[in-house]
């Protein structure tokens, strides 16, 4: 079990890196002058590269071994700690531009390290407990909310200290899992033991899976290298799909493709909301907004440890259907909740809803496409993180800018306090922007708002600033209601899958040893 607990602590480490950055998004937005969507991009750079490493290592992890991947993960975590600490001192030294770049690229390295963690822990635990995959993957993934709780409490209690301390905390759990795992022997994967070939593994993923990866990778490359013609990156995306097609000559598992598509809204529902919740609720609540994330994470941690009997009672797809219903109700309620009791009651409902999404989906993929080995198991997580990093985080930011404008335009106090800010029911101080070619939006231009305020009499300028700030901050909460569409989409898909399996005699895990025996017979 030492291997399992080492994996568990490694996952806790990824949560340390995540929560420190999410708690600091508003701090960095103020320090570096970022609008909500741009702040979402900074949040996203710490998420989407996860997919590059988890999918990349899944292609070679059976060749290089789980321990080698663990070394790469450790290096990524320590490099982020060093770059994050350096960014603080560079910023205070009067070079915010360079400091921002350190945070931006350091976040990318952190995400690569986090992806490498899951690249080895998911197939390792699936191999160790190959008869109870969904149960043990849920228990393993209690490490994620467990890390959010531990790191969140530490960060809240040291809230007044400089942010350099918060980004450096990740080094502690990283050192623990490294020294725990470095001395242990790692087993061969379930796929290798069963004699499933490398080509069979890739065929399970197939052209359909590669199509989703190619699309999301193309979007990110276009954003990362804006000076290079977009057709270059479109060809890269096409190349990924064609390469898989030429090698495997298989479309891939249709069921896996459906699960991949479901993972897009799932990742946005869980990771996207968790990433934004502190910034969204700041200014709405009188306590530290991080308590909401810590609280819902504590719920997740406790419930995931109890996954065995819950999965047994509801079966994976039944559990996912119930989870989607709870998430819809929780997000909708949280978007309009006021007062301590109502906010935490809504958060409780949302916490129950999001608990089993991610690990249960991993369990379903591992149980239904075991020939895919590390690739299909980890690709699901990778695509989810790629989706939330490239589109989910920025899109939630766009939702916030939209509701911010609606709130400003609908406020009679704003219209009378800041002349010219609202004309014909529309905010005038806004600027057209885009993230990738597919995400165009209009954001409130703080500089234009400030210019309008300076035209007011001196005694009315400060009250006007405070009014605009208050309306803007309180409006963000409404974006949570719009996000309920994601679990609603998931619910429809889960019901369809439930009916599909029912028509085939019910949900049953597929075991490689049974497949092999059947083939021999």
Q: Cα–Cα–Cα angle for 81, 83, 86, nearest 5°?
A: 110
Q: Are 407 and 346 contained in the same domain?
A: no
Whether the Cβ atoms of residue 58 and residue 119 lie closer than 8 Å to each other: yes
At 437 the pLDDT is 61
Phi and psi at 484, nearest 5°, equal: -65, -15
Q: Are 276 and 324 contained in the same domain?
A: yes
Higher-confidence residue of 121 and 63: namely 121
Q: Are 503 and 473 contained in the same domain?
A: no
Higher-confidence residue of 126 and 393: namely 126
Average pLDDT over residues 351-380: 88
Higher-confidence residue of 287 and 119: namely 119
pLDDT grade for 515, boundaries at 50, 70 and 90: low
152-173 per-position pLDDT tens digit: 889 888 878 898 999 999 999 9
196-249 per-position pLDDT tens digit: 788 888 898 889 999 998 888 888 788 777 788 989 989 999 999 999 899 999
Q: Cα–Cα–Cα angle for 131, 135, 136, nearest 5°?
A: 80
Average pLDDT over residues 85-110: 89
Q: Is the pLDDT of residue 259 over 90?
A: yes
Q: Are 464 and 491 contained in the same domain?
A: no
CATH number of the domain where residue 17 is located: 1.20.1250.20
The CA-to-CA distance between both ends of the chain, in Å, stands at 35
At 519 the pLDDT is 47
Name the 3-class secondary structure at 433.
strand
Average pLDDT over residues 400-426: 83
Q: Are 338 and 203 contained in the same domain?
A: yes
At 29 the pLDDT is 86
At 442 the pLDDT is 82
Structural domain boundaries, residue 223: 2-401+479-520
User: Cβ of 342: how many Cβ atoms within 10 Å?
Assistant: 13
Q: Write down the number of H helices and E strands in the chain.
A: 27, 4
Average pLDDT over residues 103-111: 92
pLDDT grade for 9, boundaries at 50, 70 and 90: very high
Q: Are 349 and 450 contained in the same domain?
A: no
Which residue do the tokens 């009067």 mark?
Answer: 94
Q: Is the pLDDT of residue 81 over 90?
A: yes
Q: How many domains does the chain have?
A: 2
Which residue do the tokens 């004309």 mark?
Answer: 423
User: Cβ of 168: how many Cβ atoms within 10 Å?
Assistant: 16
Lowest mean pLDDT segment, chosen from 125-139, 324-338, 493-507: 125-139
pLDDT grade for 521, boundaries at 50, 70 and 90: very low
Whether the Cβ atoms of residue 206 and residue 249 lie closer than 8 Å to each other: no
Q: Are 474 and 511 contained in the same domain?
A: no
Q: Are 204 and 125 contained in the same domain?
A: yes
At 520 the pLDDT is 47
Q: Is the pLDDT of residue 518 over 60?
A: no
At 147 the pLDDT is 92
Structure-token pair, residue 356 = 């089993």
Average pLDDT over residues 259-264: 92
Q: Is the pLDDT of residue 1 over 60?
A: yes
Pairing of β 439-444 and β 430-435: antiparallel
Q: Are 309 and 372 contained in the same domain?
A: yes
- State what percent of residues in the chain have pLDDT above 70: 96
Average pLDDT over residues 483-503: 94
Higher-confidence residue of 75 and 518: namely 75
At 503 the pLDDT is 93
**Rg for the chain (alpha carbons), in Å?**
23
Give this prediction's pTM: 0.80
Q: Is the pLDDT of residue 177 over 50?
A: yes
Name the 3-class secondary structure at 156.
helix
Name the 3-class secondary structure at 422.
strand
Rounded-to-integer distance, Cα 375 and Cα 354, Å: 24
Name the 3-class secondary structure at 288.
coil
Q: Is the pLDDT of residue 33 over 60?
A: yes
Q: Are 483 and 452 contained in the same domain?
A: no
Higher-confidence residue of 452 and 259: namely 259
Average pLDDT over residues 51-70: 86
Higher-confidence residue of 508 and 518: namely 508
Residue 282's DSSP bridge partners are: 285
Which residue do the tokens 């597919």 mark?
Answer: 438
Q: Are 330 and 424 contained in the same domain?
A: no
- State what percent of residues in the chain have pLDDT above 90: 32
Whether the Cβ atoms of residue 445 and residue 47 lie closer than 8 Å to each other: no
Lowest mean pLDDT segment, chosen from 67-71, 159-163, 390-394: 390-394
Higher-confidence residue of 31 and 514: namely 31
Q: Are 127 and 140 contained in the same domain?
A: yes
Whole-number average pLDDT of the chain: 86
């Amino acid at each position: 079990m030492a291997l399992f607990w080492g994996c568990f602590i490694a996952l806790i480490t990824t949560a340390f890196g995540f929560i420190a950055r999410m708690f600091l998004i508003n701090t960095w937005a103020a320090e570096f002058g970022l609008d909500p969507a741009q702040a979402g991009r900074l949040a996203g750079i710490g998420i989407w590269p996860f997919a590059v490493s988890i999918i990349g290592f899944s292609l070679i992890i059976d060749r290089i071994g789980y321990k080698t991947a663990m070394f790469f993960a450790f290096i990524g975590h320590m490099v982020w700690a060093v770059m994050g600490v350096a960014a603080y001192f560079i910023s205070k030294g009067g070079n915010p531009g360079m400091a921002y770049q350190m945070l931006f690229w350091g976040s990318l390295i952190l995400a690569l390290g986090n992806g490498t963690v899951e690249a080895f822990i998911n197939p390792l635990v699936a191999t160790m407990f190959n008869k109870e995959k969904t149960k043990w993957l849920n228990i393993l993934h209690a490490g994620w909310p467990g890390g959010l709780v531990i790191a969140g409490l530490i960060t809240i209690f040291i809230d007044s200290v400089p942010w350099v301390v918060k980004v450096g905390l990740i080094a502690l759990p990283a050192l623990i899992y490294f020294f725990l795992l470095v001395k242990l022997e790692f087993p061969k994967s379930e796929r290798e033991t069963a004699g499933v070939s490398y080509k069979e593994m890739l065929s399970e993923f197939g052209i359909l899976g590669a199509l989703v990866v190619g699309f999301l990778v193309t979007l990110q490359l276009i954003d990362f290298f804006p000076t290079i013609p977009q057709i270059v990156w479109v060809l890269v995306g096409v190349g990924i799909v064609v390469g898989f097609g030429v090698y495997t000559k298989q479309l891939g598992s249709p069921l896996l493709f459906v699960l991949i598509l479901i993972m897009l809204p799932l990742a946005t529902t869980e990771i996207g909301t968790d990433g934004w919740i502190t910034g969204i609720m700041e200014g709405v609540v009188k306590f530290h907004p991080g308590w909401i994330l810590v609280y819902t994470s504590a719920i997740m941690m406790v419930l995931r440890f109890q996954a065995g009997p819950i999965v047994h009672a509801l079966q994976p797809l039944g559990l996912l259907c119930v989870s989607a219903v709870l998430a819809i109700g929780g997000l909708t309620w949280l978007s309009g909740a006021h007062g301590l009791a109502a906010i935490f009651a809504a958060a409780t409902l949302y916490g129950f809803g999001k608990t089993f999404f991610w690990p249960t989906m991993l369990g379903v993929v591992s149980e239904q496409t075991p020939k895919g080995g590390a690739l299909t198991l980890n690709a699901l997580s990778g695509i989810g993180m790629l989706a939330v990093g490239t589109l989910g985080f920025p899109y939630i930011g766009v939702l916030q800018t939209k509701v911010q404008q609606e709130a400003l335009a609908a406020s009679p106090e704003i219209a009378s306090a800041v002349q010219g800010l609202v004309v014909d029911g529309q905010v005038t101080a806004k600027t057209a922007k885009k993230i990738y070619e597919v995400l165009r939006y209009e954001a409130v231009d703080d500089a234009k708002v400030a210019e309008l305020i300076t035209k007011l009499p001196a005694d009315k300028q400060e009250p006007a600033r405070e009014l605009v700030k208050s309306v803007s901050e309180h409006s963000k909460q409404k974006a949570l209601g719009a996000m309920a569409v994601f679990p609603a989409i998931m619910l429809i898909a889960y019901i369809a899958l439930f009916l599909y399996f029912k028509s085939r005699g019910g949900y049953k895990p597929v075991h490689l040893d049974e497949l092999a025996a059947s083939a021999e017979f």
